[in-house]
């Protein structure tokens, strides 16, 4: 579903300082329906990678394909959930969802009913007329996920979507995301700083180096779901990941 081949991304400086190489020869292939987590220290290029897949950023060299098509711009086939709550503050919850359907040219005769069904599925029925400012952080992220479900994006790009939430809310949304993924079979490209979160959610975990970003570890998580974060097997995966990340942090 997602094919990244030998991506190189360099940001030029506008003040005369040296340019920054964000990604150096990164190749990642993600199959349809796979839940892939990407980890690495701040500044390693994780978000740049996601932005390239989303069509927000271009590459200096290499190719990015989604479903066999070269990515040149944004599109409704790739839904993005950001860490910050990217909702329209002047629109109600329901209007945020229906507007996304209209903007993606996905509006049909039954779309209003479908939007309400999705809001119900996300536990937002009682808040459909509320504005984002009146919602908790967790509920705002539910709205963001509801928009992707409404436009039926086969690919979900998630940039630390639960990073700003408290531990309890984060755990609840992780469980909800697992249920949604099983139900919809969407391809999820998930960025996180948490080894626990990556191992708990993903089929496969990639670890990147500090800038310039390269993939230095690729690990299949061969644990049955639901996963027990206290098990020796879970912590074995965690140790293997941290053994790669911690030395790279010391080099910063």
What is the per-residue pLDDT for 53?
97
Q: What is the pTM of this model?
A: 0.92
- pLDDT for 22-63, tens place per residue? 999 999 999 999 999 999 888 888 999 999 999 999 999 999
When pLDDT is averaged across residues 172-186 and rounded to a whole number, the result is 93
Residue ranges of domains in the chain: 2-77+155-250, 87-153
- pLDDT for 212-230, tens place per residue? 889 999 999 999 999 999 9
Contact between 46 and 27 under an 8 Å Cβ cutoff? The reply is no
Position 191 pLDDT exceeds 70:
yes
What is the per-residue pLDDT for 249?
54
Position 252 pLDDT exceeds 70:
no
For residue 160, give Cα distances in angstroms to 24, 29, 46, 166: 22, 20, 10, 13
Residues paired with 38 in a beta bridge: 191, 206
Percentage of the chain modeled with pLDDT above 90: 75
Contact between 221 and 17 under an 8 Å Cβ cutoff? The reply is no
Q: What CATH number does domain 2-77+155-250 carry, 3.90.1170.50, 3.40.50.720, 3.10.20.30, 3.40.50.300?
A: 3.40.50.300
How many CB atoms lie under 10 A from the CB of residue 47?
20
When pLDDT is averaged across residues 141-167 and rounded to a whole number, the result is 91
Q: How confident is the model at residue 16 (pLDDT cuts 50, 70, 90)?
A: low
Q: How confident is the model at residue 84 (pLDDT cuts 50, 70, 90)?
A: confident
The DSSP output letter for 213 is B
What is the per-residue pLDDT for 134?
94
């Amino acid at each position: 579903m997602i094919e990244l081949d030998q991506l190189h991304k360099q940001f030029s400086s506008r003040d005369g300082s040296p340019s920054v190489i964000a990604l150096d020869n990164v190749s990642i292939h993600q199959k349809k329906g796979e839940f892939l987590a990407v980890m690495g220290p701040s500044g390693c290029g994780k978000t740049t990678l996601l932005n390239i897949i989303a069509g927000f950023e271009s590459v200096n060299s290499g190719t990015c394909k989604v479903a066999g098509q070269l990515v040149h711009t944004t599109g409704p086939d790739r839904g993005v959930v950001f860490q910050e709550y990217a909702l329209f503050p002047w629109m109600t919850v329901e209007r945020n969802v229906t507007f996304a359907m209209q903007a993606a040219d996905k509006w049909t005769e039954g779309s209003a009913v479908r939007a309400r069904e999705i809001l119900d599925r996300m536990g937002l029925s009682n808040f459909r007329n509320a504005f984002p400012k009146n919602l908790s952080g967790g509920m705002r992220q539910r709205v963001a996920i509801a928009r992707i479900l409404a436009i039926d994006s086969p690919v979900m790009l998630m940039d630390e979507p639960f990073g700003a939430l408290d531990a309890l809310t984060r755990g609840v949304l992780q469980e909800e995301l697992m249920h949604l993924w099983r139900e919809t079979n969407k391809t999820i490209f998930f960025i996180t700083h948490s080894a626990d979160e990556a191992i708990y959610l993903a089929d496969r975990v990639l670890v990147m180096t500090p800038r310039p970003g390269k993939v230095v570890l690729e690990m299949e998580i061969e644990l049955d779901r639901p996963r027990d974060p206290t098990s020796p097997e879970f912590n074995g995966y965690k140790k293997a990941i941290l053994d790669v990340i911690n030395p790279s942090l010391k080099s910063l």
